[in-house]
Amino acid sequence: MGTERVFPCPEANVENRAYWDAAAEGRLLLKHCAACGHSHFYPRAICPHCLSDATEWRDSPGMGTIYSFSVMRRVAQPYAIAYVALDEGVTMMSNIIDCDLDALAIGQRVKVAFRPSDGPLAIPVFVPA
């Protein structure tokens, strides 16, 4: 099993405050564009696909697959960082935790979990599904 690491606290702002508030409640939010129908990540008011400002927050089940990953071993607490392709079609960078780092694989199913940061915000991470 991987060792728990301390996650640095991100900075919340007016565009992403709802995202971080939901994370504190154990929910993953994504922005969805009402104009073109695409979801996007990272949270922002303008859709990167069609440049519409008709975006809204939607809850995500937080299920996806590992698109790519790397295990950091030359640190005191080894950890895995990965691009996770969510079922909604967006890709987000995060950590894979609570797993055998040597057993991770591209295409492996994962689900979101939340861990505290070194500040007031919770961080979305992923665990094997």
Q: Is residue 1 classed exposed, middle or buried when 0-12, 13-18 and 19+ CB atoms within 10 A define those classes?
A: exposed
The total domain count for the chain is 1
Domain that holds residue 38: 17-128
Residue with tokens 């979305």: 124
Report the pLDDT value the prediction gives residue 2, as an integer from 0 to 100. 46
Is 5 inside a domain boundary? no
Identify whether 116 is part of a domain: yes
Residue 3 lies in a domain: no
Residue 75 lies in a domain: yes
Residues of the chain with pLDDT under 70: 1-4, 8-11
Tell me what pLDDT residue 9 has. 67
Position 12 in a domain:
no
Which residue from 7, 15, 99 is spatially nearest to 53, judged by alpha carbons?
Answer: 15
In a domain, 11, yes or no: no
Q: What is the domain-level CATH number for residue 21?
A: 2.40.50.840
- For residue 88, tell me if it sits in a domain: yes
